[in-house]
Structures are given as C-alpha cells and as structure tokens.
Structure 1
Amino acid sequence: MSDVIVTHADMRALEYCNRGARQWFARHGLDWAAFISAGLPAAQLLATGDAMAHAVVEVALRRAAMQEPQDGRQS
C-alpha cells in the first residue's frame, strides 16, 4: 500500500471539488501542484489522519488492484 500513488483522478472519482481540495491540501501542508502533476503517496495523505484522505486512498487502492496483472506479478 505504501507505494500506491493517489492521483487527481482518484479525487475526482469521489466528486471532490478542486477548490475545496486545494484548501484541504493547504491546511495539511501538502503540495497541490505536485499532486496534480504526479500524485502523492497514499501514506502521505493517510498521515493527515483525515477521513477524506482515507476515502481517496481507498479509491486509489481499488484502482491499483484493478491494474495489477491477474497472476499477481507486479508490472
């Protein structure tokens, strides 16, 4: 899980708005520009302890699980 990258698409899947998300990132001292360009590690978002972070990490984990090869090997 620590290597899962949470992306803007994961956030949008929950219909989180950019304006509110930018404010949330600022409150938690997270880099919005880095998130938009490359995503952020799930662990970094979870470290905030915020329920919204947990929700978006769950979306990212489901996405990552769907992208893994069926034989269980990492690509």
Structure 2
Amino acid sequence: MKITLKHLHTIPGTGKKPGWCNTKARDFFKRHNLDWYAFRHGGIDEQDFLATGDGLALALVEWAHESERIEQERQA
C-alpha cells in the first residue's frame, strides 16, 4: 500500500490537531533516508516506512490502513 500526504496530514493523536506538520515530517524523512519529494508526489510504499522500525512510521502505516478501511465502508 502507498502511504500518502493524505495519511500523513490526517493521522490522529499526534498533537492538538490531527496529522504531522510538513516541517517535522521532512525532519523524519531526512532522519530515516526516505525520499520526501517522491512521497509528496505520489506516496511511497508502506514497506519503506516499516523498514525504519520507528514507532511513528508504524503508527502511520496502521493509520493508512484504518483510514482506507473507513473510506471503503463509507462507499459501501
């Protein structure tokens, strides 16, 4: 599954408002050698996030799956 900006900007529970801000996200991407440009222009595979072993990355992948499940239920 591709993790996208939609997932990044809507993940709940990371602060007063949902989502990560772009500044902190860019820091995270740099720290884990993830391609911020590619992510912003189409997303990157969840395996790239999982490979970091970072708890925030794991939470983002879980949220992406949950948000897609919610979206499918809305469309049913």
Question: Using the alignment, how far apart are the partners of 1:64 and 1:13 within structure 2?
Answer: 12
Q: What is the aligned counterpart of 2:8 among 8, 11, 36?
A: 11
- Asked if residue 22 in structure 1 is aligned to residue 31 in structure 2, the reply is no
Structure 1: unaligned runs, 5 residues or longer: 70-75
1:36 lines up with 2:40 in the alignment: yes
Within 2, Cα distance between the matches of 1:40 and 1:67? 20
Q: How many Å separate the matches in 1 of 2:31 and 2:10?
A: 22
Deviation at 1:55, TM superposition (A): 0.8
Q: Which residue in 2 is equivalent to 1:50? A: 54
Letter in 1 for 2:6: A
TM-score (norm 1): 0.78
Describe the superposition over 1:21-43 as per-residue Cα deviations: whole angstroms up to 9, x where unpaired: 00110111110010000101011
How many residues of Structure 1 are paired with residues of Structure 2 in the alignment? 66
Work out the percentage of aligned pairs sharing the same amino acid. Answer: 36
1:68 and 1:40 map into 2 onto residues whose CA distance is: 21
Shift, 1:52, TM fit: 0.5
The Cα of 1:66 is off from its aligned counterpart by 4.2
- RMSD, matched Cα: 1.5
Structure 2: which 5+ runs fail to align? 12-18
